[in-house]
């Protein structure tokens, strides 16, 4: 979903994902980790809700598996495509379970347990009509000798 609009659009919220330069790898979600009790979070809170310790920024990765999902077929908020899907993703790198958008172009291909990878693209707007970049997970399809395609 890289386009001229994507290059000009701002993230829906600051500090929730990285955008690598062209061909430099995958985007990654940025969350937090409590410096006292080591709990991890996404998105990053200022203070840990468990122990009230400070939460440091911490990357949480770009790969996971769908734990559960649903496809929403009513009029979406913020100009999201219709239909759109949301679900819980179990992150591969640290086991954190997060709630996220899923690829709106692949809603009929989604399955529980499916491997997914993070993408970032212009999806919807900020409520005032200004396009925004949003992170979403898209299915990973295996082809041949371990090569993957999206």
Q: Which of 35, 53, 57, 54 is nearest to 44 (CA)?
A: 57
Whether 68 is in a domain gets the answer yes
| Six-digit token string for 135 | 């992170």
| Six-digit token string for 62 | 């770009």
Report the alpha-carbon distance of residue 101 to residue 104 in Å, rounded: 8
Cβ-contact 50, 20 below 8 angstroms: no
SS3 29: strand
Q: Which of 31, 22, 24 is nearest to 64 (CA)?
A: 31
- The secondary structure of 79-106 as a DSSP string is G--SSEEEEEEEETTT--EEEEEE-GGG
Whether 9 is in a domain gets the answer yes
Domain count, the chain: 1
Give the count of beta carbons closer than 10 Å to the beta carbon of residue 70: 13
Cβ-contact 127, 110 below 8 angstroms: no
pLDDT score for 120: 94
Whether 147 is in a domain gets the answer no
From first to last of its 150 residues, the chain has per-residue pLDDT tens of: 444 455 679 999 988 999 877 666 789 999 999 999 999 999 999 999 999 999 999 999 999 999 999 999 999 999 999 999 999 999 998 889 999 999 999 999 999 999 999 999 999 999 999 999 999 999 998 655 455 555
Whether 54 is in a domain gets the answer yes
| Six-digit token string for 73 | 């077929």
Whether 43 is in a domain gets the answer yes
Give the domain range for residue 116.
Answer: 4-141
Whether 37 is in a domain gets the answer yes
């Amino acid at each position: 979903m890289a386009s001229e609009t994507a290059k000009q659009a701002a993230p829906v919220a600051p500090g929730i994902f990285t955008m690598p330069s062209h061909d430099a790898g995958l985007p990654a979600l940025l969350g937090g980790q409590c410096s006292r009790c080591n709990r991890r979070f996404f998105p990053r809170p200022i203070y840990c809700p468990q122990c009230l310790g400070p939460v440091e920024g911490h990357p949480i990765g770009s790969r996971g598996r769908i734990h559960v999902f649903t496809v929403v077929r009513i009029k979406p908020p913020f100009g999201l495509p219709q239909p759109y899907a949301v679900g819980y993703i179990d992150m591969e790198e640290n086991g954190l379970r997060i709630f996220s958008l899923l690829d709106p172009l692949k809603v009929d291909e989604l399955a529980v347990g499916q491997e997914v990878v993070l993408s970032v693209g212009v999806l919807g707007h900020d409520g005032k009509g200004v396009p925004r970049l949003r992170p979403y997970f898209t299915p990973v399809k295996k082809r041949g000798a371990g090569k993957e395609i999206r």
